[in-house]
C-alpha cells in the first residue's frame, strides 16, 4: 500500500501570510483631524456593493458619519458599482449606509458628538473574515497651523530617514 504524498501547494498556501485585508484608507482624515478614539463598525451593504468592494472600488476620502434617531450613518463614501454586477439594480454610489455598532458605543459616540463638538470620520475599510468592517474615529478638526506642523514633521522624518540611509551606505 502506498501512502499519498502531502500536497505541497496546500501546505504552502496554509503557511502563507494572510492576504492584505485593507480595502481603502482615508489618509486625508489624519491630515485634517486630530483622531482621538477609534471604533470598529460593521456596514449594512447591498450585494452589488460587496462585489464592487472585492474589485477595489471603494473610496472613503469624502466620507463622514452622522447621528440620526439614535443610529449612526455613513454618508459621502463612494463605492463605484461594477457594470456587470448591477444590471437589475439602480445603484447609487454615494448612498447613505448604516453603521453597525453596539448600543454602548453608539451612546458614547452620540454623547461626544453632541456635547463636545467632535465629528466622526471613517479612517479605514478592511475585511474581517468575510465581513467588511469600517474603522471610524472621533475627531477634532485641526487648525491651519496644526496642519503646517504636521507637514513639517512629516518632511523632517523623511529627511532624517534619507540622512540615515546615506550615512549607513557610506559606513
pLDDT mean over 111-134 = 90
The predicted-structure confidence for 140-149, as pLDDT tens digits, reads as follows: 887 777 778 8
Which helix or strand (DSSP H or E) is residue 106 part of? helix 103-116
Structural domains of the chain, with CATH: 16-142 (2.40.280.10)
pLDDT mean over 140-166 = 86
Task: For residues 2 and 142, give the distance between their C-alpha atoms in angstroms, rounded to a whole number.
Answer: 69
The grid coordinates listed for 50 are 460587496
Name the nearest CA neighbour of 125 among 54, 36, 34: 54
Task: For residues 131 and 127, give the distance between their C-alpha atoms in angstroms, rounded to a whole number.
Answer: 6
Provide the whole-model pTM. Answer: 0.72
Mean pLDDT of the chain: 84
Amino acid at each position: 500500500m502506498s501512502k499519498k504524498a502531502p500536497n505541497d501547494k496546500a501546505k504552502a498556501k496554509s503557511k502563507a501570510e494572510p492576504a492584505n485585508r485593507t480595502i481603502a484608507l482615508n489618509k486625508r482624515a489624519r491630515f485634517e483631524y486630530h483622531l482621538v478614539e477609534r471604533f470598529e463598525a460593521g456596514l449594512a451593504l447591498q450585494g452589488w456593493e460587496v462585489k464592487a468592494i472585492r474589485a477595489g472600488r471603494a473610496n472613503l476620502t469624502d466620507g463622514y458619519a452622522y447621528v440620526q434617531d439614535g443610529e449612526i450613518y455613513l454618508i459621502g463614501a463612494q463605492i463605484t458599482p461594477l457594470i456587470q454586477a448591477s444590471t437589475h439594480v439602480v445603484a447609487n454610489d454615494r448612498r447613505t449606509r448604516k453603521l453597525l455598532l453596539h448600543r454602548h458605543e453608539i451612546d458614547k459616540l452620540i454623547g461626544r458628538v453632541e456635547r463636545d463638538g467632535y465629528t466622526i470620520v471613517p479612517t479605514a475599510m478592511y475585511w474581517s473574515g468575510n465581513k467588511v468592517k469600517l474603522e471610524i474615529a472621533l475627531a477634532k478638526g485641526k487648525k491651519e497651523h496644526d496642519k503646517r506642523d504636521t507637514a513639517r514633521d512629516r518632511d523632517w522624518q523623511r529627511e532624517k530617514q534619507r540622512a540615515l540611509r546615506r550615512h549607513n551606505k557610506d559606513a
